[in-house]
Amino acid sequence: MLGRFISLEGGEGVGKTTNIGYIQSLLAENNIPVLLTREPGGTPLAEAMRQLLLDKNQEEMTEQAELLMMFAARAQHIKHVIKPALEQGIWVLCDRFTDATYAYQGGGRSMDFAAINWLENFVQGELRPDLTLLLDAPVKIGMGRAAQRGKLDRFEVEKITFFEKVREAYLALAEQQAERIKVVDATQNLEHVQAEIHQLVTQFIHD
Ligand code: T5A
């Protein structure tokens, strides 16, 4: 792969969408071509699956269906968007990727990590992000920020204990894969969050 793959992770409302544009501008300043995308989503079919995954007004979705849909959307995304970009030397900046599956389905829903790991290998082959920025904040701070946006989706209506487990799983992943996953303290004001991101991304660019 000629391009490099950066993912942005974290619980609800920690500031991923807010900061993705900032990272894009940092890459652009360094003359790096970049593609912005997100999960679940990123292609028309994967975006249609996103609608289903986030819609709370439907029959109860089984945990297995949820997990498989995350990976079904990911398979489309990788084949039609992520891999073609990386092969052309375009960097990919993705709002959430498979760490979110470990955190939400593995941590939040207590699903078997080995099953997720099997699906990860099946769908992605060797593709993994080169750098992951994990924006971390206590659940109440993130949920408070997310709530300001109004309407809540199918995940956002979960109980606080669900999001505590999501956060724990993310932090455990960061500890296990410290080389790739860098934790950013998202409780700080935006200026400080972006100063931390600036340092991490600049270092990664020059590695
Ligand atoms: N999901 C996803 C899974 O369960 N498994 C998977 O495998 C994948 C890929 C997707 C949902 O799907 C789940 C997880 C999610 O529940 P999403 O829209 O991608 O949904 O995720 P959300 O977390 O819902 O995204 P949000 O838009 O809610 O959160 P963001 O992007 O982290 O937060 P953002 O940038 O919109 O900021 C929220 C508010 O906070 C303010 C912003 O201005 C905004 O108003 N803010 C700050 N305020 C003060 N200080 C700061 N430092 C601030 N940073 C941002």
3-class secondary structure per residue, the chain: CCCCEEEEEECCCCCHHHHHHHHHHHHHHCCCCEEEEECCCCCHHHHHHHHHHHCCCCCCCCHHHHHHHHHHHHHHHHHHHHHHHHHCCCEEEEECCHHHHHHHHHHHCCCCHHHHHHHHHHHHCCCCCCEEEEEECCHHHHHHHHHCCCCCCCCCCCCHHHHHHHHHHHHHHHHHCCCCEEEEECCCCHHHHHHHHHHHHHHHHHC
Q: 14 C-alpha vs ligand 1 centroid, how far in Å? A: 6
Query: Does the beta carbon of 104 sit less than 6 angstroms from any atom of ligand 1?
Result: yes
| pLDDT of 150 | 74
**Please, which residues have CB within 8 angstroms of residue 68's CB and are 6 or more apart in sequence?**
119
Question: Are 116 and 106 contacting, i.e. CB atoms less than 8 angstroms apart?
Answer: yes
* Rounded Cα gap, residues 129 and 181, in angstroms: 9
Give the count of beta carbons closer than 10 Å to the beta carbon of residue 189: 8
Query: Does the beta carbon of 20 sit less than 6 angstroms from any atom of ligand 1?
Result: no
Find the domain containing 145 and state its range.
5-206
For every one of its 207 residues, what pLDDT tens digit does the chain have, with 9 covering 90 and above? 799 999 999 999 999 999 999 999 999 999 999 999 999 999 999 999 999 999 999 999 999 999 999 999 999 999 999 999 999 999 999 999 999 999 999 999 999 999 999 999 999 999 999 999 999 999 999 988 888 877 889 998 898 999 999 999 999 999 999 999 999 999 999 999 999 999 999 999 998
Query: Does the beta carbon of 181 sit less than 6 angstroms from any atom of ligand 1?
Result: no
Query: Does the beta carbon of 107 sit less than 6 angstroms from any atom of ligand 1?
Result: no
Backbone angles phi, psi at 178, to 5 degrees: -65, -25
Question: Are 8 and 201 contacting, i.e. CB atoms less than 8 angstroms apart?
Answer: no
- Specify the number of domains making up the chain: 1
With the most atoms of ligand 1 within 8 angstroms of its CB, the residue from 18, 135, 192 to mutate is 18
CATH number, domain containing residue 122: 3.40.50.300
Question: Are 37 and 94 contacting, i.e. CB atoms less than 8 angstroms apart?
Answer: yes
Q: 95 C-alpha vs ligand 1 centroid, how far in Å? A: 9
Residue 136 CA, distance from chain mean position:
12
Query: Does the beta carbon of 145 sit less than 6 angstroms from any atom of ligand 1?
Result: yes
* Rounded Cα gap, residues 134 and 171, in angstroms: 8
Structure tokens at 207: 């590695």
